[in-house]
A and B are shown apart, each in its own frame.
Chain A
């Protein structure tokens, strides 16, 4: 009886994981990548024409970002509606 209960718990947990965890993880990853884009904006905004009084010191961190730089510029310049983007993430209809 006890074993049967444990077994069914495991099945339920597997189901829940499959149903929600993967989706949740991808939402969190998206959130992290958005925050990272914002972070890069603080550093390299002047590449896009936003003056940054600290750009000289920001250059020091550039070597760590060179690989991401091109895709970041593309992403950040087509960011039109943050609301729509966020809503899309949660399967809402827009």
Chain B
């Protein structure tokens, strides 16, 4: 995949092992595109956010303007979940008496504490961002969480789809039986003519389908893995790529980070030799997937000035 090809995509995901440089790559990629004139939204889906750190300013759960053409957001799962639960409690209040509301509130709060809530909340916000009608951005760049989290995020729509599919099937069975019974009972017929639940379920299914099609049909999106030229990094990346493939999701490119260049110490010459071997392995394993190389720099990367200098399209 060439860099020009990436520029045709609307959603660009940066994934990879913890500490491999996802935030650095996504932030510099977004910044450089914004300076070329594209309207860019940079989204962090990692609960342990680092966009704030790299841009040296507070970025929160609301879209915030970093500079001309560049906006950023850090999804806050706790905040999103709280917002969601509040909305549900309010719509329940409209339906039933306050006594029942109190009773149910307890159950909702228990659900709020159950495992998987943060993950679900992130995914829900993720759908919202991708699904936004009249999206003002040319491109949305995602700085994702370390591999494990991201694999879950990417395979979530498939799981949710099969769950909702089962629900729809069951609900239709109920409705069909009620229809049969209603041949005798007029009042029942009116009740089932338009089932609000089926409509809600189908609306949900559509959203899950949409996200999956964005991830699978690569007309609109591309996934880039960032890795170090290190043994464990190579293995984890290869595993992640093959797992995603099983779910019908292709990884489009990889960027190799922290490459040793000018070396004059004995210790580092040894490291460089090992790295050379690893680089060869990466080249045979990932071949034309490689889209960029980033050298090991003498200083840490943070702030717009250093981000600007990282241009993976300039490397060999």
Contacts and interface: CB of A to CB of B under 8 A. Distances in A.
Contacts, number: 98
Given A28-B180, A43-B167, A64 B114 contact: no
Contact of B92 (A31, A36, A66): A66
B136 interface: no
Q: Is the interface of A mostly helix, strand, loop or mixed?
A: helix
Interface residues of B, number: 45
A62 interface: yes
Interface residues of A, number: 32
A35 B167 CA distance: 11
B111 interface: yes
Interface string A31-63: 110011011001100110001011111011111
B166 A42 contact: yes
A44 to B, nearest CB: 8
Contacts of A54: 120, 159-160, 163
Contacts of A38: 170
Interface stretch (B13-21, B48-56, B100-108): B100-108
Contacts of A91: none
B181 A32 contact: yes
B114 A25 contact: no
Interface of A: 21-22, 25-26, 28-29, 31-32, 35-36, 38-39, 42-43, 46-47, 51, 53-57, 59-64, 66-67, 69-70
Given A26-B181, A46-B114, 10 more contacts: A29-B177, A29-B181, A32-B178, A35-B177, A38-B170, A54-B120, A59-B84, A59-B88, A60-B204, A66-B96
9 contacts: A26-B181, A29-B188, A42-B167, A47-B111, A55-B111, A56-B84, A57-B120, A59-B84, A66-B95
